[in-house]
Structure 1
Amino acid sequence: MAGKTGSKHDIINGYVSFVNFLGAFLGENCEVVLHDTNNKEKSVLAIANDHISGRRIGAPLTDLALKFVINKVYEKQDWVMGYTTQSRDGRVLHSATYFIKDGNGELVGMICMNMDTSDILAARDIMNRFISSAGFEKTQKKELFATSDPVAETDDSEPVEHFETFPHSMEDLTDSLISKVVEDTKILPERMTSDEKLAVVATLNDHGVFMLKGTIRVVAKHLAVSEATLYRYLQKINVK
């Protein structure tokens, strides 16, 4: 389905019914989301089985989807699969992303699927306990359950784990990204030096935060600086 012709609006809207089809076929344990990457702040155009993440139409891109856009992953491959994410309430999700492109290979949108594997993992744990109590040899157990990850390893790549947030609004996404970066510094913003704040801004820029509208005000508030100061930080980064 990649390489469709027509306007970007027509191409992306042509997938709405496909999302509903996939959601119905895959069942209630699999969330299917259609993202419009040209409207990052309100990218969700359609969503099936939305109880998995609690998102609704009009929610923004996730932090991981934003990384795919920034790194232009879609230029090298048509999809990404075999990675696991984790919902806010701790459920392990088996996830995959399909890139929707126009006839020129430009990214138009994404279809993301998040399968709740809680039931599968619970069943595996029961089987593991049974095998252990039944006295199976370790080698037999290793053959039956070769990995503790719900995503099997492939010959050409290792399974990727990512704690993906599923924001309900642009502010929610921005707050989550900023909190992660600030938490990694292990320094309260009020105690940061100018250079430390500049480093945080550079990291946020690498994560694509400033591609989103209205983030200057939110970031300035989190870092306890004025918007003018934040703009100066961004100018220094761009100079580099």
Structure 2
Amino acid sequence: MFINNKELKKYIPIANMIAKTFGQNCEVVIHDLSVPQNSVIYAINNHVTGRKVGQSFDHLIKQVLLSKNFDGDYAANYKIVTESGKEIKSSTSLIKNSKGEIIGALCINYDLEPMKNIKEFLDDFMNIEQEKIEKDIEPFDNVIQIVDDLIDRIVSNSNVDNLKRKDKISLIKFMDEKGIFLIKGAIEKVANKLKISKVTVYSYLDEIRKD
């Protein structure tokens, strides 16, 4: 395993400690947000959700950055459901470098399935709050900056001037799946970065969502 970012590499022992403390039902994942499309750089006990190195983030925007419970650079105790239907209790903390810049995220995913028959434990442990995700949310300034950085990094991996229509649609589809367009003003920012009009972005989104 090779990790470019030395500051993120420091979190591997912490991830291992958390996983060993809480056992095989506790998955810990480290993300490098400088490479959004392949942000997963480390995962332990990844049988819980099936996360693999090289995959992208899934819930960072929708259930962390846009959560009313997101405070102090972390969101705790939100629920996700795997493709196989398992309920997972998750918590995510953003990772900053020495300059205070957001560079990554550490995520804890705990498999609740084996505990469903332990009533007393569940009453205390399964404290999960769900929120309705709305479009065009007015997020905190630091959330706007994080999403702006993600847009920059997603688009900067491509030569915009040489992108074909299908390539632009592919980038917009990726950003739509990750919740980028839930942030107010994201349509305009993506349009500017891809050197197309807002109307074109809306047209691509309609095409993507119909498919």
SS in 2 for 1:81: strand
SS in 2 for 1:119: helix
Cross-structure match for 1:26: 22
Distance 1:118 1:61, change over 3 A: same
Question: 2:64·2:74 contact (CA, 8 Å) conserved in 1?
Answer: no
Cross-structure match for 1:167: none
Task: Work out which structure has the larger RCO, using CA pairs closer than 8 Å and 6 or more positions apart in sequence.
Answer: 1
Cross-structure match for 2:130: 161
Q: Indicate which of 156, 168, 190 corresponds to 1:216.
A: 168
* Larger radius of gyration between Structure 1 and Structure 2: 1
Cross-structure match for 2:33: 37
Cross-structure match for 1:188: none
Question: 1:85·1:162 contact (CA, 8 Å) conserved in 2?
Answer: no
Matches within 5 A, 1:1-240: 9-62=5-58, 64-67=59-62, 76-124=71-119, 151-152=126-127, 159-161=128-130, 211=151, 212-213=154-155, 216-218=168-170, 231-233=196-198
Instruction: Give the whole-Å Cα distance in 1 for the aligned partners of 2:56 and 2:116.
Output: 29
Paired AA for residue 112 in structure 1:
C
**After TM superposition, which residue ranges in structure 1, 4 or more long, deviate above 2 angstroms?**
66-73, 144-147, 149-152, 159-163, 208-222, 230-237
Displacement after TM superposition at 1:18 (Å): 2.2
Q: Cα deviation per residue 1:171-223 (whole Å; 9 max; x = unaligned)?
A: xxxxxxxxxxxxxxxxxxxxxxxxxxxx9xxxxxx9x698335762327789x
Instruction: Give the whole-Å Cα distance in 1 for the aligned partners of 2:62 and 2:201.
Output: 23
Displacement after TM superposition at 1:146 (Å): 9.8
Distance 1:146 1:97, change over 3 A: closer
Q: Percent same amino acid at aligned positions?
A: 23
Instruction: Give the whole-Å Cα distance in 2 for the aligned partners of 1:72 and 1:29.
Output: 25
* Corresponding residue pairs, total: 159
Displacement after TM superposition at 1:24 (Å): 2.2
User: Cα RMSD between the aligned structures?
Assistant: 4.5
Instruction: Give the whole-Å Cα distance in 2 for the aligned partners of 1:107 and 1:121.
Output: 36
Normalised to the residue count of structure 2, the TM-score between the two structures is 0.58
Paired AA for residue 34 in structure 2:
N
Distance 1:82 1:76, change over 3 A: closer
Normalised to the residue count of structure 1, the TM-score between the two structures is 0.51
Instruction: Give the whole-Å Cα distance in 1 for the aligned partners of 2:173 and 2:73.
Output: 38
Unaligned runs of 5+ in 1: 1-7, 125-143, 153-158, 164-198, 200-205, 223-229
Distance 1:68 1:99, change over 3 A: farther
